[in-house]
Structure 1
Amino acid sequence: MHMMIFGCGYSGSAIAEAFADPDARVAGTTRSPEKAALLEKAGVQSFVFDGETISDALRAEIATATHLVQSIAPGRSGDPLIRLLGSHLDATMPKLEWIGYLSTVGVYGDHKGAWVDETMSLHPVSARSVERVEAEEAWLSIGDKLGIPVAVLRLAGIYGPGRNAFCNIERGTARRLIKKNQVFNRIRVEDIAGATRFLADNRRGGIFNVTDDEPGPPQDVIAEAARLMSVEPPPEQPFETAELSPMARSFYGENKRVSNRRLRVEGFDFQYPDYRMSLKELWSSGRWRG
């Protein structure tokens, strides 16, 4: 197996680790030489990619890739990899057997707290979610054309070592915003990596929600982390009067409970199915700082 990860950031690096074994070659892209050096230290063959041009070295690398994960967010001009390679992906990556595209549960839009699954129609609210829908459709179309399974992984709010409520409390940035009946799903980064490996190993294509079992109020996560740390949680604040960036406020404009049943039916077992056990593991293991 030769795994190529475009966008080897927080989730991409966890995916690279999940594919690290003696029989696999793992390569990834990042936007800066400094981050590329860090990837190299982690055992990932790294390439600088700015989303605009593909170097000769990167082009040679992807020519032998058997598996592709695309985690770079699209922009107004669309998915950067499709823009550069889409029309001749089969010629550029002739050995390709499976594609994974990392998307977001934001494509569902607002459902007033109701449950949603992969069969639901999409009503994206933000421009970034509209772009994700377009990219999903483009990748699935490419898979159909080439006869390659394409798995679209719709991710909930990502957290894990180095990116979690403990870190926010320690930095003094944690907030308990109260909006009536608001819930969010979330997902540990290791479960994103595990789901990607599972779908790739089993050559599964289609759309999969990658999310925990327990959507809940965001303020409850902060309170649980504070309890484990034995500190006072930050005070509750009404959402309506809180000072928030437009992007932060937009997240609260979508309220839904996202089901992961399809992925479970396929046979995947989540390592961290709810935030309580996940936070407990992060705290007791001491890995919460990353």
Structure 2
Amino acid sequence: MRTLLIAGLGDVARRALPELVRHWRVFAIAHHPAAAKAARQGGALPIMANLDCQESLRRIAGLADDVWITAPPPASGLRDNRTRKLLYALAKADRIPQRISYISTTGVYGNGDGAWLDECSALHAQTERARRRVDAETALRDFAGRHGCQLNILRAPGIYALERLPLTRLLQGTPLILPAEDSYSNHIHADDLARLCIASLQQQRGGIRVFNACDDEPLTITDWYVMLAEALALPIPPQLSRAEVRQQVSPALWSYMAESRRIRNVRLAELGVALRYPTAREFVAQLAANPAWQAVALAKAGKIR
């Protein structure tokens, strides 16, 4: 059985664990006891290490046939030193991973002014967090090219699930942009992203490949929030001009609302995964018809708030 190392045991990775342990002997980097417990509960073997501490990563050298990186970059700066430290540690052995899969972000494309973008579109990352992702992609490409391992980069957009819906803005009444001036956003259900990542790790194609890991239909940001509000019987926030919204929201939130792009996902067919939620509309329709789901979503939002 092949061995797999997971760097970053967050929500998407935990969703994937039941399937991963059927095909790999799975190791997971864990910084805290809670993460180690989650790894064991999912059938993985925890390795106590810290992606911010190079010395702690010595144990992973030569450990795995395949590596799945889901850990986010540091919270500041223009470099992803976490990914770079991980790759440095992996290179300190004769046995180099044969396959690497990395969850990046569609934010690396920057603002497309609503244009359609695909995997060959130029990268124009505008926020520091997106630039850190570009740095990680660059480091991974260099590593894969130098060592001849397969690299799949999955650029994910806004990730959602029943337990991770963006309801705080609705509960707070944060204004939305008028439809005529609104930005496009893209989405993927967390379960679908987990399945896409598993498929990318199972590929035996070789080389470096980028996939836009999003669903089939971009939505305007306002459409997305209005659909959620209607499904959950929440008040729909006021809709204002772009200029008015920019004055009323935080710079961090505006950086998200200001960028507009429509992402093509045609290349996903290569992974052979049929999305359970080809569009966010289909998820919201199920949410609207399921009172139990609504209760879970609202309870989770209440805790977050």
Cα distance, 1:96–1:32 mapped onto 2, change above 3 Å: same
Does 2:214 align with 1:211?
yes
Cα distance, 1:212–1:173 mapped onto 2, change above 3 Å: farther
The TM-score with structure 1 as length reference comes to: 0.86
Deviations 1:48-100 (A, max 9, x none): 433232566x6445633121111223343733355335346344471622101
**Could you tell me whether the CA contact under 8 Å between 2:176 and 2:237 is conserved in 1?**
no
Q: Report the Cα distance in structure 2 between the residues aligned to 1:115 and 1:84, rounded to whole angstroms.
A: 34
The TM-score with structure 2 as length reference comes to: 0.82
Uncovered stretches (5+) of structure 2, i.e. residues with no partner = 301-305
- Number of residue pairs aligned between Structure 1 and Structure 2: 286
**Could you tell me whether the CA contact under 8 Å between 1:176 and 1:219 is conserved in 2?**
no
What letter is aligned with 1:140? Answer: R
Structure 2 counterpart of 1:135: 136
**What's the offset of the Cα at 1:238?**
4.1
**What's the offset of the Cα at 1:239?**
4.2
Range that drifts further, 217-226 or 117-126: 217-226
RMSD of aligned Cα (Å): 2.7
Cα distance, 1:266–1:10 mapped onto 2, change above 3 Å: closer
Q: Report the Cα distance in structure 2 between the residues aligned to 1:231 and 1:69, rounded to whole angstroms.
A: 38
**Could you tell me whether the CA contact under 8 Å between 1:175 and 1:222 is conserved in 2?**
no
What letter is aligned with 1:52? Answer: D
Deviations 1:126-177 (A, max 9, x none): 1221221121121012111111110011110111131014x547x8246451
What letter is aligned with 1:199? Answer: S
**Could you tell me whether the CA contact under 8 Å between 1:9 and 1:30 is conserved in 2?**
no
Does 2:276 align with 1:271?
yes
Does 2:239 align with 1:236?
yes
Does 2:21 align with 1:20?
yes
Cα distance, 1:194–1:176 mapped onto 2, change above 3 Å: farther
Cα distance, 1:70–1:177 mapped onto 2, change above 3 Å: same
Cα distance, 1:47–1:208 mapped onto 2, change above 3 Å: same
Secondary structure at the counterpart of residue 27 of structure 1: strand
Structure 2 counterpart of 1:53: 53
Cα distance, 1:159–1:82 mapped onto 2, change above 3 Å: closer
Structure 2 counterpart of 1:155: 156
Relative to total residues, which structure has the larger helix share, 1 or 2? Answer: 2
Q: Report the Cα distance in structure 1 between the residues aligned to 2:61 and 2:173, rounded to whole angstroms.
A: 41
Q: In the TM superposition, what are the counterparts of 1:250-265 in structure 2 within 5 Å?
A: 250-265=255-270
Secondary structure at the counterpart of residue 103 of structure 2: strand
**What's the offset of the Cα at 1:8?**
1.1
Range that drifts further, 188-197 or 5-14: 5-14
Q: Report the Cα distance in structure 1 between the residues aligned to 2:220 and 2:211, rounded to whole angstroms.
A: 23
Deviations 1:154-202 (A, max 9, x none): 110111131014x547x82464511513110011111111111111112
Structure 1 counterpart of 2:40: 40
Q: Which of the numbers 227, 232, 245 marks the counterpart of 1:224?
A: 227
Taking only the aligned residue pairs, the percentage that are identical comes to 26
**Could you tell me whether the CA contact under 8 Å between 1:157 and 1:187 is conserved in 2?**
yes
**What's the offset of the Cα at 1:248?**
1.0
